[in-house]
Structure 1
Amino acid sequence: MHRQPLLSLLHQHLQHHRFADANEQAMTQETIMFVEQHPDCFERTLLVGHVTGSAWIIGRDRGHSDEPRVVLIHHRKLDRWFQPGGHADGDPDVAAVALREAQEETGLTSLQLVSPAIFDVDIHSIPALDSKPAHLHYDIRFLLEADPEEPFGITDEVQNIRWFSLKEANSYAKSESIFRMIQKML
């Protein structure tokens, strides 16, 4: 598929996204406007911000355990726990970006997209780092599942990776967006 149909598909998915609260609704609308105004929204060279793709990874055993488990990574440069994800680098297929980034950052090969529908939308600021100015990530998140028995791989970007119960994930990440995704799981 070429860039324009995928951009239109993302726009359509954003229009039909079922947000959890007024904050996510506002971020979804802002993301729609950003995508409409910036045809280069998938390029990290757009210094005001860019579209990124993230994965909320749940254990494939989610129906067989007492509490669902999710994967969080501890990002080396940002020194924080959050879900795997990253830059689109020109790829307008944001679900594919989320899957690729999740594989790169966790080493998991059993990852599968649960649904092509957007799971969550978030806009967050990234601080200035090295020669890059502070900017926004218009993060489109997808629900993935993986085998919780598969071992993780290690990458340069990630300091630590692990499965968390939902309660643990909330206490480690201490983030409104992580809390919102946890609430969606409940």
Structure 2
Amino acid sequence: MNIRNQLVTYKPYNEQEEKDREVMIRYIDTFPDTLTRNNEFAHFTASAWIVNHDHSKVLMAYHNIYQSWAWIGGHADGDPDLLHVALKETGEETGLKDFTPLSEEIYSLEILGVDGHVKKGKHVATHVHLNVTYLIEADENEITAIKPDENSAIQWMALDEAVEKSSEPYMKIIYQKLNDKLKTYAGV
């Protein structure tokens, strides 16, 4: 199923997700190439909210660009299977080998503003991430590894601690939403 169809069938959790879903669908219908960074204003990304087996902890990375504890994720870079992107990023950014999506369905939606920054020596203009999040489960006892060009630490944290340790005000709201949703998520 393509991303537009997934967005159409997705049931938003709250007003933020409803509005973001509407904007994402409208953006797909209006602009070409939303799956690559060639669309410099807005493009799709996928994130993973990685929880341990009893769903009491989440795996966070200390993100080098944002200088904040953050979830795992990355750009679609042309891949229309955003679950695949989230799983690929989980392995690359954490070193985990054994992890599983709790569902193939979208867990959460967010439109995220990204301030201009320098990455790999090049300026990246301010833009927007059309982000799709998936719920991933992993063993908190498995050895993790940093990805030095993206993060400088990986740590399992209690759900509330993950919100508290983020230094990005809007991301605190998103992480709290993910935690609240986890408590009521069907099948979890």
What is the TM-score with the length of structure 1 in the denominator? 0.89
- Give the equivalent residue in structure 2 for 1:65: none
Once the two structures are superposed, the pairs formed by residues 1-186 of structure 1 within 5 Å of their partners are: 6=1, 9-62=2-55, 68-130=56-118, 131-156=123-148, 157-173=150-166, 174=169, 175-186=172-183
- 2:5 and 2:178 map into 1 onto residues whose CA distance is 21
Identity score, percent: 30
The 2-side partners of 1:49 and 1:18 are apart by 22
How far is 1:181 from its partner?
0.4
CA deviation string 1:127-171 (max 9, x = no partner):
111321100000100011111110111212111111111111121
How far apart are residue 24 of structure 1 and its match? Answer: 1.4
In 2, the alpha carbon distance for the partners of 1:132 and 1:45 equals 12
Letter in 2 for 1:102: T
Deviations 1:4-29 (A, max 9, x none): xx5xx221211122222111110111
**Number of residue equivalences:** 174
TM-score normalised by structure 2 residue count: 0.88
SS of 2:43's equivalent in the other structure is strand
Letter in 1 for 2:61: I
Determine helix, strand or coil for the equivalent of 1:60. coil
Q: Deviations along 1:85-133, whole A, 9 cap, x unmatched? A: 0011111110000110111110101111111110000011111113211
Q: Counterpart of 1:122 in 2: which secondary structure?
A: strand
- Structure 1 gap ranges (5+): 1-5, 63-67
Q: Secondary structure at the match of 1:118?
A: coil
Whole-angstrom distance in 2 between the partners of 1:23 and 1:35:
18
Report if aligned partners of 1:61, 1:148 keep a CA contact under 8 Å in 2: no
Deviations 1:64-99 (A, max 9, x none): xxxx11111110011112210001111111000011
Could you tell me how far 1:38 is from its partner in structure 2?
Answer: 2.6
The 8 Å contact of residues 48 and 135 in structure 1, kept in 2 or not, is answered as yes
Paired residue type of 1:41:
T
Segments ≥4 residues shifted beyond 6 Å: none
Native 8 Å contact 1:61 1:147 kept in 2: no
